Amino acid sequence: MKLDRLGDFQRTHRNGDLRLDHAGQTVRLLGWCRRVRNLGSLIFLDLRDRWGLVQLVANEETADPDLLAKLKAVRSEFVLAAEGVVAERESKNPNMATGDIEIRLTGLRILNTAAPLPFPLEDEGVGEDLRLTYRFLDLRRDKLQRNLLLRSEVTNLTRNHFRELDFIEIETPILTKSTPEGARDYLVPSRMHPGEFFALPQSPQLFKQLLQVSGFERYIQICRCFRDEDLRADRQPEFTQIDVEMSFVRQEDVQGVIEPLMVKLAKIVGKEVTAPFPRLPYRNAMEWYGSDKPDLRCGLKIQDVTGLFAASGFNLFRAAADSQGQRRVRALFFPGEAAGLLSRKQLDGYQEQAKQMGAGGLPYAKWGKDGLSSSFKKFLDEGAEAALKDLFRANAEGASAGGEGLAVFAVGTDAQTSKVLGDLRTKIATDLAATEKDPTLSTLFHHKHAYAFLWITDFPLLEWSEEHQRFVACHHPFTSPHPDDMDLLETDPGACRAVAYDLVLNGYEVGGGSIRIHDADTQSRLFRTIGIGEAEARTKFGFLLDALAFGAPPHGGLALGLDRLVMLLAGVDNIREVIAFPKTAQARCLMTDAPGPVDERQLRELHLLQDTKQTYRVGAVFFESAEGGSPELRGQALQQIGQMTPRQAQGLVTLDAQGQILDTQTLSGPTFEF
RNA sequence: GGGGUUGUAGCUCAGUCGGUUAGAGUGCCAGCCUGUCACGCUGGAAGUCGCGGGUUCGAGCCCCGUCAGCCCCGCCA
């Protein structure tokens, strides 16, 4: 098809802005054809641009024949420039912003055609692999357009927020140094320095601290970070962080600039949240909610019921009671009729969930219409049964139910029971909220539309790593120990708290930060505690230690996960829905098919090619030797090199498996030939 | 690294106990149609049942392997 040129065509209006007020005006519009409806001698066409949709119309009796012919050739997603007169519709469409009017076409340019799309833009249920393969089409869909628009509003609002507070935005390097602690790095081979690598930043952590030493007291950056770890619904290998660092601050000061930002961001999507947010020490979060990122839309707390089974016939539980606190029996009590009525099948489902979390099973007790039933009833003597019923009644207090409910139990170490019950707490509560008739109970289970922000504070500074057989930093090794726990650094490192805090929203960690160590002594003590010696610390973090020695101010900050935050604001449950070009769970881009192989020339330049083709670095100084490859290949290389002058041999020689020279590259001196 | 789940027409899916020529809706193509807006009506084309192997007289269906998407555990300072 012959295409028309855009030429001097000037758009006069955005499609979604046209109203009855514009009637009689001649307008020029641009966009994509969403759909044509050809009624014979009357043709309708919906024209879409970023801002909306408007109906174009042409009538066989009145329209120019050339224009009609052109219009009949138009298919979905053709790119059009249209000229026409705004007119009131004969039959209006109340479901459309522009439903009162239509454009009577006087001119039409077909700027481009479009093949039939591989999937419809209107349907929700299209396979995600297909959507990701044709992401540029997927992004035409309303929902993704809205999500990316929201994302843009969030970053704008964030920048304005920090600018009003006198923050300065500074960019930090993307090509940086690999850090041994923490996540796996994405590495970038260095061409200039054979065998050496840059790392993409997991976060600009050290740079922003150094900027504090430089005197940029309030820093912000919206920056890309990279972590080469396995993905999840809320985790991508490449993600965006709102990175904040401040000098002369305490924890509350950092929280004090973040909270009003969250209030503003929530307002964009019509949610009212009030600051300050609750502060919950890590220890309590784990005890009550079994999680360091609890979803406080559900208020239920985990309870310790170890004592209840101290004299019980149920060995599993009694053994825990006898373990002097090593192991405990912990439980969740869900009050209400719906909880007491949960079917065996549903309970089996929860048991599967518990097993996936590492539990052996899921002991439960249910008090329904037909009395108390339990997976371990046969082990319960009268006293224990009565005690259990008392607990049910105590947990039903304030609710309309008379003791009905469900209790699920976990036994084991605190870490084990927290994991199981922390997971089931929100799962079961969410399910019950959907079925429970008593409205007071469903708000106890799950305020579906609420935004529950909170801070988790007083994280442990260190944890024992079985893998490394030493203590490692929970947050990062620059986190300040709690001033009250400073002495524990040498005596009981595992008990030492950190001045670290996470911002949690609805069960997601949306941010985390800390007050940093700002004196070289404390930093050295910490490195010593986690088994990083003086020399190693110098090599890896020498620049930081230097900086701390030259007047580093007390400082601290925080980083927010922008993608996750926007995901929650957009009300979607997958981070890919708020990223224009995301990776799959296997860390691939289905659209570009990255990562992909590169040609051998590139590998050789980067000194990465091995096996059949081996790059030897030779030079006059070590004329007699070559490194790498098999002994035979080395021998052949030396033989060939031996026929050269030392000057000629100075360079890189690439050989194939037969020892033939494939490629040479001089490191210095003149180019030589073979 | 491990567990679960899905894969059939361009798309979304159905496909009985293993049994004849694998279906529907939608999209696409053609024709008709003056008030549609998920236009309607008529007709047509469209399949490597993810891929490979096996069992069987016979496999979309059963078995083994493999690839890909999704979810979870480990991992994510």
- pLDDT per position as a tens digit, A602-652: 998 998 886 454 444 443 323 333 444 555 655 655 555 555 544 444 455
Q: Is the CB of A177 under 7 A from strand B?
A: no
A373 touches strand B (CB under 7 A): no
CA closest to B41 C1', residue: A39
Pick out the nucleotide with least CA–C1' distance to A583.
B69
Q: In this predicted model, what pLDDT tens digit does every residue of A477-534 receive, in sequence order?
A: 999 999 999 999 999 999 999 999 999 999 999 999 999 999 999 999 999 999 888 8
DSSP A232: B
Per-residue pLDDT at A667: 41
pLDDT of residue A401: 61
Confidence label for A331 from pLDDT (cuts 50, 70 and 90): very high
Residue A157 has pLDDT above 90, yes or no: yes
A39 CB-to-strand B distance under 7 Å: yes
Locus of tokens 């329904």: A368
Q: Decide: helix, strand or coil at residue A423.
A: helix
Whole-number pLDDT of residue A442:
77
A36 C-beta less than 7 Å away from strand B? no
* Protein-to-nucleotide distance from the CA of A126 to the C1' of B23, whole angstroms: 21
CB of residue A94 closer than 7 A to nucleic acid strand B? no
A227 touches strand B (CB under 7 A): yes
pLDDT tens for residues A408-434?
999 999 999 999 999 999 999 988 988
Per-residue confidence (pLDDT) for residue A445, from 0 to 100: 80
Residue the block writes with tokens 């900050």: A557
Could you check whether the bond before residue A65 is cis, i.e. omega within 30 degrees of 0? no
Q: In what order do the strands lie in the sheet with A303-304?
A: A303-304, A328-335, A405-412, A364-368, A371-374
Q: How far is the CA of A223 from the C1' of B32 (A)?
A: 59
- Supply the DSSP string of A623-641, one letter for each residue: TT---SS-HHHHHHHHHHH
Quickly count: other Cβ atoms within 10 Å of residue A499's Cβ. Answer: 23
What does the pLDDT read at residue A309? 85
Per DSSP, what are the bridge partners of residue A103? A56, A86
Instruction: Categorize the per-residue pLDDT at A436 as very low, low, confident or very high, splitting at 50, 70 and 90.
Output: confident
Contact criterion met (CB below 8 Å) for A301 and A289: yes
Q: Does nucleic acid strand B have an atom less than 7 angstroms from the CB of A231? A: yes
CA atoms within 13 A on the CB side of A190: 13
Mean pLDDT of the region A389-400: 80
List of A residues 378-397 with CB within 7 A of strand B? none
Residue-wise pLDDT for A41-66, tens only, equals: 999 999 999 999 999 999 999 999 99
pLDDT averaged over chain A? 89
Token pair belonging to A183? 């996540």
Q: What are phi and psi of A68, to 5 degrees?
A: -60, -45
- Assess whether A131 (CB) lies less than 7 A from strand B: no
Q: Which nucleotides of B are covered by protein (CB under 7 A)?
A: 1, 3, 10-13, 26-29, 32-40, 68-77
Task: Pick out the nucleotide with least CA–C1' distance to A89.
Answer: B35
* Structure ipTM: 0.94
Is the CB of A644 less than 7 A from some atom of nucleic acid strand B?
Answer: no
A599 or A114, higher pLDDT = A114
| Beta-sheet pairing, A279-281 with A453-457 | parallel
CA A133 to C1' B65, whole Å: 27
Residue A352 region by backbone torsions, left for phi larger than 0, else alpha for psi between -120 and 50, else beta:
alpha
Q: Give the contacts of A24 (CB within 8 A, at least 6 positions apart).
A: A85, A86, A87
Token pair belonging to A627: 């490194």
pLDDT of residue A559 exceeding 90: yes
pLDDT at A666 over 70: no
Q: What is the pLDDT of residue A639?
A: 59
| Nucleotide at minimal C1' distance from the A73 CA | B29
Among residues A124, A60, A205, which one has the least CA distance to residue A513?
Answer: A205
What share of chain A has pLDDT > 90, as a percent?
69
pLDDT for the residue A384: 83
Indicate yes or no: strand B within 7 A of the C-beta of A356: yes
Q: How far apart are CA A53 and CA A432, in angstroms?
A: 41
- Give the integer Cα–Cα distance in Å for A143 and A158: 22
pLDDT at site A633: 57
Residues A102, A87 contacting (CB under 8 angstroms): yes
Q: How confident is the model at residue A655 (pLDDT cuts 50, 70, 90)?
A: low
Other Cβ atoms less than 10 A from the Cβ of A144: the count is 21
pLDDT attached to residue A651 = 53
Cα A71 to Cα A13, A60, A77, A107, A283, distances in angstroms: 21, 11, 13, 10, 69
What pLDDT is recorded for position A10? Answer: 97
Question: What pLDDT, on the 0 to 100 scale, is given for residue A669?
Answer: 34
For the segment A81-109, the average pLDDT, to the nearest whole number, is 97
Q: How far is the CA of A580 from the C1' of B72 (A)?
A: 25
Give, to the nearest 10 degrees, the angle between helix A534-549 and helix A520-529: 160
pLDDT tops 60 at residue A265: yes
Which tens digits make up the pLDDT trace of A182-212?
899 999 999 999 999 999 999 999 999 999 9
Q: Is the CB of A182 under 7 A from strand B?
A: yes
* Neighbour tally for A350: CB within 10 Å: 20
Task: Say what the pLDDT of residue A136 is.
Answer: 97
How far apart (Å, rounded) are the C-alpha atoms in residues A561 and A540?
A: 27
Q: Is the pLDDT of residue A98 over 90?
A: yes
Nearest nucleic acid nucleotide to A559, CA to C1' distance = B77
Q: What is the pLDDT of residues A163-188, one digit of tens each?
A: 999 999 999 999 999 877 789 999 99
